[in-house]
Every structure is written in structure tokens, then in C-alpha cells.
Amino acid sequence: MSDLEDRLAEVVGEQHVLTDPDLKAPYETDWTRRFSGVARCVVRPADTGQVAAVVAACAEAGVPITVQGGNTGLVGAGVPAGGEVLLSLGRLTSLEPVDTLEAQVTAGAGVTLERLQQHARPHGQDVGVDLAARSAATIGGLVATNAGGIRVVRYGSMREQLTGIEAVLADGTVVSRLVGLAKDNTGYDLTQLLAGSEGTLAVITKVRLRLVPLLPARAVALVAVGGVAEALDLLAAARAGLPSLAAAELFLAEGLDLVRGHGRLAAPFAEPYPAYVVVECAARTDPTDELLEVLGECEAVLDATVASDVTGVAKLWAYRETHTEAISAAGVPVKLDVSVPLRELAGLVAELPAAVAAVAPSARPIIFGHLGEGNLHVNVLDAQDRAEEVTDAVLRLVAGKRGSISSEHGVGRAKAHWLGLSRSPSEIAAMRRIKAALDPAGLLSPGVLLD
Ligand code: 2HG
Ligand code: ZN
């Protein structure tokens, strides 16, 4: 081992500095298998003090660091470009008692979302963010990427849940604001600056989150509609008529065929439809009547199936939540996560297939996503050798509709080259000045966000 590895082993213990290629391998490739890079070593610190010492040692040696949480990210931000120390935060699993008076909790960066949900729920509280990767995605990673998921329509993204943060800066300094004051106007908000910074400004070690009341009664409808425009009519009706609205998700006929084949799921309706919306209501008492009333009055509804028991709800959600794994089982997709103003959504979905076919004629686009935010997950199968062209075509189409090239997954390595489609030159210049101020040597997650 070299001097740096020896030093890191002194900090975290030899068994937590991985240099063996077989042991490093699971950390070096992302979930999609699209991004991989060789790490110089993988370091697994156990607490904030160890993270600070690891970062300080790397800074002194001038060696760059890639920060990784649950490795469920989809834009390559958590895997090395090559030669970095891979700092894995999975052992930062401290969890403080739920503060039921403040309705907040403090969790280590490596706590999974599912673990945090299990921690909060017995106290009648819940985490405002939820997503399909809950069993592996970690709180630190969710904050670093400002993750969204299926509850944004009700509670907002990860940054809206944040009341405080503890982080290690690029020189090893620890900054900590974990009191979680509901009001605190004392200058620059470092907590919010780090949300969505994708490991480029600091290493998040702990977060303090606002919790929401646990709503145990759920009603879910899978609704068949004639297309995206009709799905939006249903969204408008749900927003106006359902104070209990907790999720509004979209998928299309092609996606349903794929998930049904993959999971051997029964057809939800006697005949196929162009598009489907999952509408979930959550409340203290059964919201089924409220949901049925809105569905009954909405002309866009062609057919619907409703469940309020745990098994029935899970069955309906499976049509939407298994999209990612069904797509992954069919191949390595070009994964694009975009959003547009809701009035542009139907046009975008209509124009996407032709835009993709123009650069990759045999590609298969699968489109699904979070209807409430106009957030589409455009997964393009059979286009691996045309990834650049497909990415360029889709992101330009989105930018032309005043959309965002990354709605909730972040920019990572995957889209750094296209940041200029969503951010102006002066904004990017300001971001670069912030990066230079906090990480002058460019050691934290090089190549991520700003290429
Ligand atoms: C989801 O909404 C995730 O299920 C993953 O953001 C999206 O696989 C994807 O493209
Ligand atoms: Zn999503």
C-alpha cells in the first residue's frame, strides 16, 4: 500500500480500505451498468470524525474523491471517473430519536430511506419523500441529489424536507447546523446550498429532516386515459377535488407491456389504453369515497380500478414502480430524466419518438414519470451505441420547451456536457465561482455537474 492508503487505514481500520479489485468492483459500477470507473481504493469511514480525517488526508495528498451513498443514483455521480478515492458513506448509520415536538429527526448520511421510514412511523410521523429505491438509497445521497420521487406533488423534493446539515468541506473542516430551527435568518444558507450539489461542494455526513404526519389510510386508483392531455385533465381534477392527493404518476401502453412481461402481472383492464395514471390519496380516515367521487365526475377517465387494502394498493403500484427494473432487465437504457411546464407535456410525449428515431432508428423509448411535476423518465432501450446522439436530441427537445434537462436525478457525469441547455452562462459562471471557493483544488467529485 502507498502512504495515502496507509494513512487511510490508520483512520478507518485496514478492513475498511478496499484495494482488491474484486472487493472494489461493486462500488465501481452504477445500478444501470452504464457508468463505471476504477477507484484507487474504496474507503468506508464509520463517523464524521473519520470522514473529516479521510478528506484531510486526501487533500494533503492532492488525491480526488468520489462520494458515494447507496449507489442508486442514475447519472453516474457516485462512480469514479478513474483514480479517485471512493468515499463510501454506507457506515454512517447513526439515527437519533424522533423529536415529536419539533417533528424532526437527525440521521447519518448512510441511513437508508426505508430505515428512516421505519424509525419515524411508530411515532405517528413519516418522511415526506418516498421513492422506489427506498431500501438502498441513503439519506445523504437523497439530499446530495435533491431527490424527488412519488410524494413531491404533496410535500416537495428533498430540499423542502431539510432543516439542517452537517458536512465535511474539501479541506477536512466540519460544518454543522443540526439544531433545525424553524426560523433562522443568519446569512448564507449552506444547508440549501449543499442540497443538490451532488458531492461537488462538501461531503454530507448528517442531515436533520422535517417529518410529516403519518397518514395510514390510503386509496389508490389505476386510471386508464386516452393520452397525456387526458392524464393532465385528470391531474387538474385531482388537484382541485382531492385535499388528500398524495401521488399522481404516469405511464404509457409500452411501459405496461414491458412490466407485465417482466413481472408476469395480470392485465389491469379488459382492453389496453394509450396511457395510465396512478392516483393515490392518503389521509387519517379512508379517502376512498373522495377519490371515487372525483373519478366519477372526470370525463377523462375511461376505466379505473381502485384499492385501499395493503395488498391491493401494492398490486396497483407495482405497474408503475417496477418500470425501472423491467427496463433494466430488457437492456442497458439511455436514461433521461426531464421536466417541462405541464402545458408542454403532451407535445413533448408526442414529439419524443420521432426525435429519438431520427438519431437511433431501432431504439425503443419507454416513457413514464411523475405527472404532477411534468417530470418524465425517458428510458431509451436498444440505443447504447447512440447514447450521445439520443441524449442530445431529447435534451434539446426539452430545452426548446423551456424544460429542465434533469428534473430529479441530478446532472452527474451523464449530463454535465448539456448543463448549458438548462442554465445560462452567467449562472454557470456563478456556480463555478462557488465551486472554486469551497473546493479550490477541485478534489471533490471531479467531472460531476461542472465538466
Ligand atoms: C422512478 O421514478 C425513478 O421510478 C427511476 O426516478 C426512474 O428508472 C428511471 O428512469
Ligand atoms: Zn422518478
What pLDDT score does 85 carry? Answer: 98
Q: Structure pTM?
A: 0.96
> For residues 269 and 263, what is the distance between their CA atoms, to the nearest angstrom?
16
Question: What phi and psi, each to the nearest 5 degrees, are found at residue 141?
Answer: -70, -35
Closest atom of ligand 1 to CA, residue 149: 2
Q: Which of 130, 134, 150, 324 to mutate to test the pocket of ligand 1 (most atoms within 8 A of CB)?
A: 324
Query: What mean pLDDT, rounded, does the chain reach?
Result: 97
> For residues 211 and 129, what is the distance between their CA atoms, to the nearest angstrom?
10
Which residues, in sequence order, are bridge partners of residue 339? 375, 404
Percent of the chain having pLDDT more than 70?
A: 100
Q: Which residue is closest in CA terms to ligand 1's atom 6?
A: 149
Closest atom of ligand 1 to CA, residue 408: 6
| Nearest ligand, measured from the Cα of 324 | 1
Residue range 138-186, pLDDT digits in tens? 999 999 999 999 999 999 999 999 999 999 999 999 999 999 999 999 9
Residue range 305-364, pLDDT digits in tens? 999 999 999 999 999 999 999 999 999 999 999 999 999 999 999 999 999 999 999 999
Q: Count of alpha carbons within 13 Å of 11, Cβ hemisphere only?
A: 24
Ligand 1 centroid to 415 CA: how many Å?
16
Closest atom of ligand 1 to CA, residue 320: 4
- Helix ranges (DSSP H) in 322-382: 323-330, 342-359
| Nearest ligand, measured from the Cα of 335 | 1
What pLDDT score does 31 carry? Answer: 87
> For residues 148 and 159, what is the distance between their CA atoms, to the nearest angstrom?
9
| Nearest ligand, measured from the Cα of 336 | 1
Q: pLDDT grade, residue 1 (50/70/90)?
A: low
Q: Which of 131, 249, 336 to mutate to test the pocket of ligand 1 (most atoms within 8 A of CB)?
A: 131
Residue range 28-83, pLDDT digits in tens? 999 888 999 999 999 999 999 999 999 999 999 999 999 999 999 999 999 999 99
Residue range 239-266, pLDDT digits in tens? 999 999 999 999 999 999 999 999 999 9
Ligand 1 centroid to 405 CA: how many Å?
15
Closest atom of ligand 1 to CA, residue 379: 10
Q: Which residue is closest in CA terms to ligand 1's atom 8?
A: 324
Residue range 80-137, pLDDT digits in tens? 999 999 999 999 999 999 999 999 999 999 999 999 999 999 999 999 999 999 999 9
Question: How far, CA to CA in Å, does 277 sit from each of 131, 226, 252, 401?
Answer: 17, 11, 9, 23
Q: Identify whether the C-beta of residue 174 lies closer than 8 Å to the C-beta of residue 168.
A: yes
Closest atom of ligand 1 to CA, residue 321: 4
Residue range 183-221, pLDDT digits in tens? 999 999 999 999 999 999 999 999 999 999 999 999 999
Sheet of 275-283: strand order equals: 303-307, 217-225, 275-283, 245-252, 364-370, 375-381, 334-339
Q: Identify whether the C-beta of residue 324 lies closer than 8 Å to the C-beta of residue 368.
A: no
Residue whose C-alpha cell reads 468541506 in the numeric block: 169
Q: Cα angle vertex 244, ends 242, 250, to 5°?
A: 75
C-alpha torsion sign, points 47, 205, 416, 153: positive
Nearest CA-CA partner of 28 in 36, 19, 18, 20: 36
What pLDDT score does 32 carry? Answer: 85
Q: Identify whether the C-beta of residue 91 lies closer than 8 Å to the C-beta of residue 69.
A: no
Percent of the chain having pLDDT more than 90?
A: 98
> For residues 425 and 418, what is the distance between their CA atoms, to the nearest angstrom?
12
Ligand 1 centroid to 341 CA: how many Å?
19
Q: Which of 146, 262, 409, 415 to mutate to test the pocket of ligand 1 (most atoms within 8 A of CB)?
A: 409
Q: Which of 254, 317, 337 to mutate to test the pocket of ligand 1 (most atoms within 8 A of CB)?
A: 337
Judged against a pLDDT cut of 90, whether residue 2 lies above it is answered with: no
Ligand 2 centroid to 370 CA: how many Å?
6
Which residues, in sequence order, are bridge partners of residue 224? 276, 303
Ligand 2 centroid to 338 CA: how many Å?
10
Residue whose C-alpha cell reads 395510465 in the numeric block: 276
Ligand 2 centroid to 408 CA: how many Å?
7
Nearest CA-CA partner of 110 in 30, 47, 27, 32: 47
Q: CB within 6 Å of ligand 1 — which residues?
A: 132, 324, 335, 377, 379
Ligand 1 centroid to 377 CA: how many Å?
6
